[in-house]
Chain A
């Protein structure tokens, strides 16, 4: 599965279904999501066995609605900075939805501190996460350090 959206890495994602973007959905009310949008989301992903959903903007109801669906396997937030990371991870953990997303760094936060903070947050909430870090080192040796650190904390 190739996500795109500034994410050139390929991801082995068996049974992911189909990737969809629902940016416009953030502009409508929860009632309209239920009545107008949701039937079409389900119809579009069901033939593929599920969906991986991206959207930009902020809409708490949409996020929760996506998490509640057995058809939604993973969610990517285009604007994770608009959300409380703990809230997002808790919703994902409750519903066994994978968060495939960036999580913003705190101002001035270094890559080691960032990896520790987010890693422990993932561990505490019990969420399953594919993190695209927003701060990261420049050398491959340092990248291996944060990769090992991430796996140690979240494993």
Chain B
């Protein structure tokens, strides 16, 4: 799924294919009311220095 998404994004930046839609992750009810934390801060210092860790912590929910 990740490689499909990367390919979709790669095509988008080449000007090919549909525009992209980013639906917020997490509890949508809480998200819409602003009650949920938008960012997980666990191990943030380590994640800040390591893009792969940051990416893992921010993955989009998959349908």
Contact = CB atoms under 8 A, between A and B. Distances in A.
Contacts of B59: 10
A147 B20 CA distance: 9
Contact of A13 (B9, B21, B39): B9
Interface residues of B, number: 27
Given A138-B29, A143-B23, A128 B58 contact: no
Contacts of A8: 24-25, 38-39, 58
Interface string B12-27: 1101011111111100
B13 A150 contact: no
A152 B21 CA distance: 12
Contact of A9 (B13, B17, B18, B22): B22
Interface size class of A (residues with CB under 8 A): 35 or more
Interface string A18-48: 0000000000000000000000000000000
Given A128-B12, A136-B28, A155 B18 contact: yes
Given A7-B22, A131-B21, A131-B22, A2 B10 contact: no
Nearest to B29: A138
B6 interface: yes
B19 A122 contact: yes
A115 B59 CA distance: 23
B22 A132 contact: yes
B26 to A, nearest CB: 8
Contacts of B18: 150-155
Contact of A136 (B17, B23, B38, B54): B23
Given A132-B24, A155-B18, A2 B54 contact: yes
Interface of A: 2, 6-15, 96, 98, 115, 119, 122, 127-133, 136-138, 140-141, 143-144, 146-147, 150-155
Interface of B: 5-6, 9-10, 12-13, 15, 17-25, 28-29, 38-39, 54-55, 58-61, 63
